[in-house]
Amino acid sequence: MVAIVSTSIGLVVMSMDETQVVDINDRNYWTLTQLASAFGPARETVSKRLKQANVTAAKKRGNYDVFHIASAARAILADERPPLEKIKDPDLLHPKDRLDYYRGENEKTKCLKESGVLIPVSEVTMEFSLIVKACIRTLETLPDILEIKCALKPDEVILIEHECDLVRAQLADELTAE
């Protein structure tokens, strides 16, 4: 943690392991340690990101290089990834983030199964097949039922059978269409 205290001679920058008196005009120039404390990544990570972004030390304070906070902040935060909610293709994530994403999705799936919101495909297929079988059975027996109960003539029964066959074929086409 870094604390900056204003004094009559300048600013005092204090951290757990260092205390410095800094000229007030140098308040926007920070060392690697100060940048790491403020932004969170390890000092080595901050150094690596500054080198990748070609950010060079603006000057020296004592024996330490200091960097202007604006250019350093852009370089340090440039590698930050967007939140997982905004990712459209998880396979484009870095391996650790991809692992976290898929672990989270697996936990979500378990929760939805346990709560009954998500039903296994095998159960849905079984229930759907029972419904389709009932519809097909009705289409197959309808002409016979109408012939017996309504005293239809043979040519009328043939017409009804033909229409039922068309409906059954249409149903099969819709079920097998991708």
Q: What is the mean pLDDT of each run of 10 residues along the chain (178 residues)?
A: 53 53 72 85 85 84 85 77 67 84 92 91 91 91 91 91 92 84
**Per-residue model confidence (pLDDT) at position 167:** 92
DSSP strands (E only) in the chain: 3-6, 11-14, 19-22, 29-30, 59-61, 64-68
- Asked if residues 35 and 72 have their Cβ atoms less than 8 Å apart, the reply is yes
DSSP 90: G
Write a three-state SS string for 116-141: CCCCCHHHHHHHHHHHHHHHHHHHHH
pLDDT of residue 158: 93
Annotated domain spans of the chain: 3-77, 86-115, 121-176
Torsion of Cα atoms, 131 then 137 then 143 then 145, to 10°:
-100
